[in-house]
């Protein structure tokens, strides 16, 4: 059974999903790949410990702080390749951006940026696993399953100088 709850954020409603008291999903309302490939039955439950921890993390984050994900029990579910990409995402520092190409080079010298982009786009735990910190070649703000306007808001919250990037809507 997958349990869900909602969190009201500055970006709108976020849906959190948990299983076995671990966070398996966090999506912005209207996000592409919402609920991904999860097939289990769902049930609303606002009182799971993982949800309370995640809500506290989100409160801190949206207050402009840099909370650690170390205290959150995450259970990312995906292919080996996607898990490798998502692990790299976890290492992108608050307020920093990297390119899809940078991530590709960390995996293999001949890895495609497009393959990395597909994995980044299917990240099931948005914001906490910071896929919003990935930009295109030459600093272009392209691709964000939660919407580019939300990507801009998240980066601005973290102090990224958006004027230094190329916003492509």
Exactly one of 17, 26, 131, 152 is catalytic; which is it?
131
Nearest to 73 by CA among 53, 93, 91: 53
Q: Could you tell me if 3 and 17 are in contact, meaning their C-beta atoms sit under 8 angstroms apart? A: yes
SS3 (DSSP) at 81: helix
Where residue 40 falls (left for φ over 0; alpha for ψ -120 to 50; beta otherwise) is: beta
Report the alpha-carbon distance of residue 125 to residue 122 in Å, rounded.
Answer: 9
Is 6 in the active site? no
Active site residues per annotation: 131
């Amino acid at each position: 059974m997958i349990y869900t709850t909602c969190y009201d954020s500055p970006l709108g409603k976020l849906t959190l999903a948990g299983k076995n008291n671990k966070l398996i999903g966090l999506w912005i309302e209207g996000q592409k790949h919402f609920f991904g490939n999860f097939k289990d039955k769902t049930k609303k439950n606002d009182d799971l410990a993982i949800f309370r921890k995640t809500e506290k993390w989100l409160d801190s984050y949206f207050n402009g702080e840099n909370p650690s994900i170390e205290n959150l029990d995450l259970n990312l579910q995906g292919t080996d390749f996607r898990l490798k990409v998502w692990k790299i995402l976890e290492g992108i520092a608050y307020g920093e951006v990297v390119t899809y190409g940078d991530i590709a080079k960390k995996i293999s010298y001949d890895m495609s940026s497009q393959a990395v982009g597909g994995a980044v786009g299917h990240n099931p735990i948005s914001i906490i696993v910071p896929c919003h910190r990935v930009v295109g070649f030459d600093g272009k703000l392209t691709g964000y399953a939660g919407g580019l306007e939300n990507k801009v808001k998240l980066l601005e919250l973290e102090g990224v100088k958006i004027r230094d990037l190329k916003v492509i809507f």
